[in-house]
Amino acid sequence: MTDPQDVSGVWYGHYAAYAGHEDNGFIALLEEISGAVTGTITEPDDASGAIRRATVTGQRDGASLRFTKQYDGSGGWTHAVRYSGAVDADGTLVMGSWIVEGLTGAFDMTREKFDAEALEEEEEELLSISGELGKLGPLK
């Protein structure tokens, strides 16, 4: 049985500083192997119009997720940010906090988990509808 809290996949996130200095969205692509988490984060830099990129390294133990986001210099940022959060039981939401150089804030990440059986049923239904529409002939 696979672990529903495995964080592998695409996450859509948001972070905000408690002091109001930084507020931004991001997309994280994470891979988890035996609790070790690696990946990338991409986020916009609204001030310059650039894209900031970062690597992720961390660990998940049960519901606890900890990782470091290390900016790669794109968008002019090279610092590291430490994140700590909790993964919900379904593995679709992470909420927690972050800290960098004395500045702290909150973050959340969400993702959709797809049920293969539900997707197959939806595809069959769409094919059935398409077939019925085809029987009607061309629209005039």
For residue 54 the two structure tokens come to: 């970062």
Question: Which is nearest to 11 in space by CA: 79, 96, 75, 73?
Answer: 96
Q: What does each of the 140 residues of the chain score in pLDDT, given as a tens digit?
A: 489 899 999 999 999 998 877 789 999 999 999 999 999 999 998 888 889 999 999 999 999 999 999 999 988 889 999 999 999 999 999 999 999 998 999 999 999 876 666 667 777 777 777 666 566 665 55
Separation between Cα atoms, residue 104 and residue 114, nearest integer Å: 33
pLDDT of residue 1: 47
Q: Is 88 helix (H, G, I), strand (E, B) or coil?
A: coil
Separation between Cα atoms, residue 133 and residue 102, nearest integer Å: 61
Domain 9-135 has CATH 2.40.128.120: yes
| Spans of all domains in the chain | 9-135
